[in-house]
């Protein structure tokens, strides 16, 4: 019997979506990038700013930001040759709420 056998299709989809997000943010580099963006002016930065903050290469940072963006935690905007990333408003709060709802019956 699967762990999701008693869940509605919507609840199963929600837990699967949450699991995808948690897999992405479980990476220490990605958590560091999220923290740097949260502390950045206007909560946004270009990859060039994040290279300075992490010591990682531009391609490595771009790869990790793409993964974070794909699960809906970041917005991005091209400005000339640079792409600026910012935390999506309320995204981290939504993840925290989804995670905490797992322990509440009927949530």
Q: What is the CATH number of the domain that holds 90?
A: 1.10.10.10
In-domain check, residue 75: yes
Domain extent at residue 46: 12-100
Residues 7-33 pLDDT 10s: 556 566 778 889 999 999 999 999 999
Q: In angstroms, rounded to a whole number, what is the distance separating the alpha carbons of residues 36 and 46?
A: 11
| 85, 76 contact by CB (below 8 A) | yes
pLDDT of residue 98: 87
53 in a structural domain: yes
Instruction: Please give the Cα distance from 107 to 105 (Å, whole number).
Output: 6
pLDDT for position 1? 39
* pLDDT < 50: residue spans in the chain: 1-2, 4
60 belongs to a structural domain: yes
pLDDT value, residue 69: 97
């Amino acid at each position: 019997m699967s762990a999701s056998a008693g869940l509605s299709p919507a609840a199963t989809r929600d837990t699967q979506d949450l699991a995808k997000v948690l897999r992405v943010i479980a990476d220490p580099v990605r958590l560091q990038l999220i923290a740097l963006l949260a502390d950045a002016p206007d909560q946004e930065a270009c990859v060039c700013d994040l290279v300075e903050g992490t010591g990682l290469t531009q391609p490595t940072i771009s790869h990790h930001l793409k993964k974070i963006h794909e699960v809906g935690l970041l917005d991005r905007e091209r400005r000339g040759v640079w792409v600026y990333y910012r935390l999506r408003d309320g995204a981290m709060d939504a993840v925290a709420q989804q995670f905490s709802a797992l322990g509440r019956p009927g949530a």
